[in-house]
Every structure is written in structure tokens, then in C-alpha cells.
């Protein structure tokens, strides 16, 4: 597979996703990082996006809920080069009926070489990186068909 470079700008697009049992933890985390998150564009699956907006006042573009295609919408945006970071607080202890969509979202994030946090500690590391507020050049698959 041939590769080319894509620049993630200083102003990132950050996707927020959280399973039901992890929404409170994500909200707490967002509140802790509210100031830095406000510097970026936020998108989220339906319920998660609404909760973050309602509880923190941060503007979040809401897509569909995960089980209704929101995970796939975020995946499509990642493949189009329109998402720079994925913060997905998932619940590994609860079975999810849309597990294939979750797996596909995580797979596409890896293919398109974006930072992915699946827990609070990794999300903290991403937010503390100097790359979160600076340009970052990443290798991505070529757009050749």
C-alpha cells in the first residue's frame, strides 16, 4: 500500500464517543480538559455529543447514535481525512449489539493513523502532547484506487 502525508492542523477535529456505562467518566474527563478542548472542533455520536454539550457548554456537532450509524459516520470522516483524534471511552465489560461497527471504527482509525484513546489515561496522554496544539504530519494510505 502506498502512503502519503496528511497534515493534522493546530486546530484539530476531535471525535468523542462513549458507551453508556462510560459516559459519566467521559463527561468528568471533558470537564477536566474543557479549556484545551475548546480550542478544537468537537464531533460526537448522538447521545454522547448531547451530554457533552449540555453538561459542559462545549459545542459538539452531533451525529447519529452509535448503534444507529454514528460510529460509521465518524469512520467515514476519518477516511476522508476530516478527523484528527478519536477519543472512544468504550466499555470492554459490557457486550455491545453494534460490536462490528465498533471494531470497524477502531480499525479505520488505525488504518488512517490517527491517535486513539480508549480510556482516560490514554486520553490524558493525548491531551498533554505538544502535538494536540501543533501541526502533525502523519502517514496515511494513498487515495489511489
Q: DSSP states of 82-135 as a string?
A: --SEEEEE--TTS--TTHHHHHHHHHHHHHTT--EESSHHHHHHHHHSGGGGS-
Is-catalytic flag, 91?
Answer: no
Task: Exactly one of 71, 82, 99, 101 is catalytic; name it.
Answer: 71
Reported residue count of the chain is 145
What is the fold, at CATH topology level, of the domain defined by 3-141? Answer: Rossmann fold (3.40.50)
User: Please, which pLDDT band fits residue 76 given cuts at 50, 70 and 90?
Assistant: very high
68/133: higher pLDDT:
133
C-beta separation of 115 from 83 below 8 A: no
Alpha-carbon distance of 59 to 66, in angstroms, equals 19
Report domain extents, the chain.
Answer: 3-141
Alpha-carbon distance of 69 to 90, in angstroms, equals 16
- Nearest alpha carbon to residue 112 among 66, 70, 75, 73: 75
pLDDT tens for each residue of 92-138:
777 666 678 888 999 999 999 999 999 999 999 999 999 999 999 99
Amino acid at each position: 500500500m502506498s502512503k502519503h502525508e496528511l497534515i493534522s492542523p493546530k486546530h484539530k477535529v476531535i471525535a468523542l464517543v462513549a458507551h453508556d456505562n462510560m459516559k459519566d467518566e467521559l463527561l468528568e474527563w471533558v470537564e477536566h480538559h474543557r479549556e484545551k478542548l475548546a480550542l478544537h472542533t468537537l464531533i460526537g455520536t448522538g447521545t454522547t455529543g448531547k451530554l457533552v454539550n449540555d453538561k459542559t457548554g462545549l459545542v459538539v456537532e452531533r451525529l447519529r447514535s452509535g448503534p444507529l450509524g454514528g460510529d460509521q459516520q465518524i469512520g467515514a470522516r476519518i477516511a476522508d481525512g476530516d478527523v484528527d483524534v478519536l477519543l472512544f471511552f468504550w466499555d470492554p465489560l459490557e457486550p455491545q449489539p453494534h460490536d462490528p461497527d465498533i471494531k470497524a471504527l477502531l480499525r479505520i482509525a488505525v488504518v488512517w493513523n490517527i491517535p486513539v484513546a480508549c480510556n482516560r489515561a490514554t486520553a490524558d496522554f493525548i491531551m498533554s502532547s505538544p502535538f494536540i496544539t501543533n501541526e502533525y504530519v502523519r502517514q496515511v494510505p494513498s487515495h489511489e484506487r
